[in-house]
Amino acid sequence: MKFIKTILAAAAVTIAAEGAVITGSVSTFSGPDDLLLDPSTNVIAVDIGGDTSGNIVNGVSFLNDGTGITGSVSNGAVAVSSAAGFSINGWTTAPSYVGGTPGSSAALSNIMHDIRWSLATSATPNISLDITGLTPGSIYNVQLLFSENGSVSDRHWDIGVDGALVVDDYNTNGTSASIGSAYSGDFDPGADGALNIVMGFEPLPGDPNNTAAAGADNNPILHAVIVHEVIPEPGSLALLGLGLSTFFLRRKRI
């Protein structure tokens, strides 16, 4: 199994208002400072369904992948491709955010004004998101950004990564255009250097209970994706080296 738990505590299913968070975490944001945006470790950031270039948020430059129902864009070797049933460039009320470096809140608002989405009852009920060109053995933090942009929809869907359920019954739970919702998780891309993400209900891999959809709206949406390489702290590397040394020393004594 290619995914890893973000933290050891994530091994236990957490029941929250947004559903069951199995791997990673879910949070809300009101501006750039509430998100992980570090130019030194960012490998790619994408405005999903967008066509506006030059959006820089706290030093991280967002690429756009076009306004069609499919899109693909790359930064060096790393590429992000997505597909859905529908795409809207400029969906409902433009969100309003605060904070960040000069121009960042406006740039994030532009990014979060575009979406791809799928109709749960259609032949294309899910959103697929593929991140390729990652380094096998490295760990990457993936943030998926959502917003209802003032809609009153009670929206629920599942999120799966590499064939494993990471959030059961995700709920954006936001009717304010000034509050966004983010899923964040750390993952190992495995030998193929890819992460395959699915959002929706039918058919979604890894749901052990085949949980019925909750809420009045089960149409998945996606506004943006941000990917950072997770750099271990020097202390963690030292502990890892000490652990390996102890392991080999013990083996030698046997």
Statement: residue 229 has pLDDT above 90: yes
Q: Which helix (H) or strand (E) holds 242?
A: helix 234-253
| 3, part of any domain | no
Which pLDDT value is given to residue 236? 53
Interval 5-60: pLDDT, tens:
333 233 334 433 346 899 999 999 999 999 999 999 999 999 999 998 899 999 99
249 pLDDT band, cuts 50/70/90, is very low
| 138, part of any domain | yes
Tell me the backbone φ, ψ of residue 195, rounded to 5 degrees. Answer: -120, 130
pTM: 0.85
Q: What is the mean pLDDT of the chain?
A: 84
| 181, part of any domain | yes
Interval 91-104: pLDDT, tens:
988 899 999 999 99
| 128, part of any domain | yes
Domain that holds residue 71: 8-253
| 1, part of any domain | no
List, in sequence order, every beta strand (DSSP E) within 48-85. 55-57, 60-64, 70-75, 78-83
| 21, part of any domain | yes
**Sequence-ordered list of residues with C-beta below 8 angstroms from that of 93, at least 6 positions apart, any chain:** 149, 150, 177
Which pLDDT value is given to residue 177? 83
Domain count, the chain: 1
Asked which of 70-84, 132-146, 172-186, 202-216 is least confident by mean pLDDT, the reply is 202-216
The count of other CB atoms within 10 Å of the CB of residue 4 is: 13
